[in-house]
Structures are given as structure tokens and as C-alpha cells.
Amino acid sequence: MRTLDGVVRPYAWGSRTAIASLRGKAVPSPHPEAELWFGAHPAGPAVCVGADGDSDSDLLTAIDSDQIGMLGERTVASFEGRLPFLMKILAAEEPLSLQAHPSSEQAREGFDRENAQGLRIDAADRNYRDPWHKPELIVALTDFEALAGFRDPRVTVELLRELQVSELDPYLGMLAGQPDSEGLRALFTTWLTLPDASIATLVPAVLTGAVDLLGGGDGRFTAELRTVLELGEVYPRDPGVLASLLLNRIHLEPGEGLYLPAGNLHAYLRGTGVEIMANSDNVLRGGLTPKHIDVPELLRVLDFTPADVADITPRIRTVGAERIYLTPAPEFRLSRVELDGTGLLYASSICFDMPGPQILTVLQGSIDVRPAGGHPISVRAGQAIWIGDDEPDVVVHATASRAVFFRALVPVASD
């Protein structure tokens, strides 16, 4: 077992307080901290902390030195010797880009194609930086706001009609005449490929309509209208502002989650959560960003099938103190565990004996992790612990009155 310190990713949309507070810092960070990575991704492997508190390696190096012992034979064979998941704390104070991720087949084909074209892995106009897909799950730690999946187009037609924006009439007709996935594809494609001059006229007209409707409407589309206004203020000439009108506007309470499979168009808007994903860098962007946007490639991977929020909400199974978020992803399984160090309200300890690699990330309080016949390792909030496949069964005990941690592992076939 190894205690892990996460790697901070300082993206501009991050928070100066959320991750700093989690790590026990009394003052805000001098710059935005967007993500705290706990994994073995080459761009930011977690730091292994020795008994003296100093870093002695990183998790990627440790895994590469003993793949079978650290990952187990099944994981090595299934995922080419890689830890297949990346666990993060994500803290957004501003919206992330509108984006989607490819399927396994699309990622492999795109990666090979761009290699054949001679594109550098770090090229700004590269879409595929590895040959793997990137399903992901986010579980809210605070109130969390997101756009995810194309809304029922019949409801979207109602929203566009209520805006009463004459400039929208030609586009409204496209979807009203074909309120299905093909109509969504046609409208989304049209908006993303409009000339800049048309966007410069259409977006302000939509924002004016949103202001008017908020002032006198019945409140049915309040969240959607406020979102389009917020996005339009930051990205006044971005077709992604229009695209946001086509997507489900989602609010998550703490503990609720979203599972985003291949092809799902989404954008996280605001909030802090635990995120787990397949260990990949492949992102196809569709707007709300100054970064590279490849519209034909994005259209190739998008799934325009309308999705109800229930379709992208993970099933939950509770086993004792463990709340398990079930998804079809073969790379990861995530659960939330809450222990009571006093033992008065609920369990003070839990035993884990599942084979394969695991990462436990502590969000509140502190825990001791004890292998059978061994000495415990203490882990505090803001840190994690790595448990390799060759570790004996472990017992986790809360050393604070309340300890909350998230457990990430590679699921077995019966999960």
C-alpha cells in the first residue's frame, strides 16, 4: 500500500477555495485549482508518499515496475498493463467546454489515422491522443450544475417557441418538422457551421429573448434561460451558446451522479464533485472554449438520440456503509463510504477483499487502513491510498467522528 498525494491541475475554470479547503489549507490558492488527480495518467501521476512524509516515487512508475503485483493478471491482460481509470476531484467555478468522447472503435481509428498523418501527440489540432475511449462518472459533493445529453426535441421546440425570437424561426422549423435525432443532428450541425456574422446576430437576439421571457414567463425554463444568459455573457460569439438550448439542464444534489457514455454531448457548469473516467485524453470539443474544435470529427462521434436524465443517472446499490454507483464501464467502479469513528451511529470500520487495484480518496476526516497482520497506514482528508492486487485483505477504520471516502476499483464480471 502507498499513501498518495494528488496532482493539481490549474485550469482557468477552477476554484481557488474548494480543493485548497479539502487539502486542509486555511487560505485560498493564488490561482484557480480545477482538478486534483489520483491515478497513473502520464500527464500527472499521483505522488507516492513514504513513511517519512517525503515523496519517493509516483504511481505510474510504481505500477510499471511491477505490473502483475500492482494491477493483477486480469487487469494487465484486459487493459494492456495500464491502470484503466483516473480518479479526480473536480471543482468548477466557471463552465467547462461543450464536449463529447469517442467510443473504443472511434478512438482506435482516429488515433491510428492521426498517427498516419504525422500529427504530434501534443499538437494543438490533434483530437486523439491515445487509442482508448473515455466514459466518465461524476458524483456531486456540492450542488452541481451541468448540461448533458440532447433533450426531448418536442420540449426543445416548446422552449424555442416561448423565446419568440424571429431570427430563430428558420431553425425552429427544422426541429419542429422533424422532432427526432435526425432533426437534432440537422439543427446542431447548422448552428455549429453558421458564419461568424450570422452568429453575431443570432446569439444577441436569443439572449434578448431569454431576458424578456425570464421577466414575464411562468418559470418552466428558468434554469435553461439563465444558463444561456450566463454562457452568452462569457462567449457572445460562440455557437455553443445556441447548442446549450438543445441539452438537458441538470441539477445534482450532493451524492447524486451522472454517467456520460461515448457520444454524449455535455458541459459541467458549476460545482465540486468526484469524477472517475477511463484513463484517456480523448476529447472532441463543440464550443464554449478557445481550444481546437473539429466540427466534422465531433459530428462523427456524437450520439443525437434524445436522452432523458434518467437514462444517464447511474443505478445505486447500498451494501452496508458503501454506496455503489453502478455503470456499464468495464474500467471502473466508484463507491462512497461513510464511517463513524465513535461507532454510535453506524459502522466504524469496513473490510475490503475484492481483487485488483484500488484507490481510496478521503474527503472528510481520516482513516487507518490496515492489511491483515500488518501495520495501519493513516490517510487524512485530501489524500488517497493505493491498494495493489497483491495486497492482503484490508480493514479501513475511521479515526475521526465522521470519515467519508470514495473507493475506485476495476469491477469484476459479476458487478
Computed from CA positions of residues 153, 296, 329, 135, in that sequence, does the dihedral angle turn out positive or negative? negative
User: Which one, of 132, 135, 157, 178, lies nearest residue 303 by Cα?
Assistant: 135
Cα separation of 180 and 223, whole Å?
Answer: 23
- Which residues are registered as beta bridge partners of 352? 394
Q: What is the DSSP string of 164-222?
A: T-GGGHHHHHHHHSS-SHHHHHHHHHHHHT--HHHHHHHHHHHHHHHHHHHHHS-STTH
In angstroms, the Cα distances linking 119 to 127, 134, 279, 298 are 10, 21, 21, 18
Cα separation of 394 and 63, whole Å?
Answer: 20
Residues carrying an active site annotation:
285
Cα separation of 312 and 174, whole Å?
Answer: 26
Instruction: List all residues 6 or more positions away from 37 whose beta carbon is below 8 Å from its beta carbon.
Output: 6, 7, 8, 9, 44, 45, 46, 86, 87, 88
Place of cell 444534489: 253
Cα separation of 361 and 381, whole Å?
Answer: 8
3-class SS at 405? Answer: strand
In angstroms, the Cα distances linking 368 to 29, 55, 329, 397 are 28, 20, 29, 5
Contact 402, 370 (CB under 8 A): no
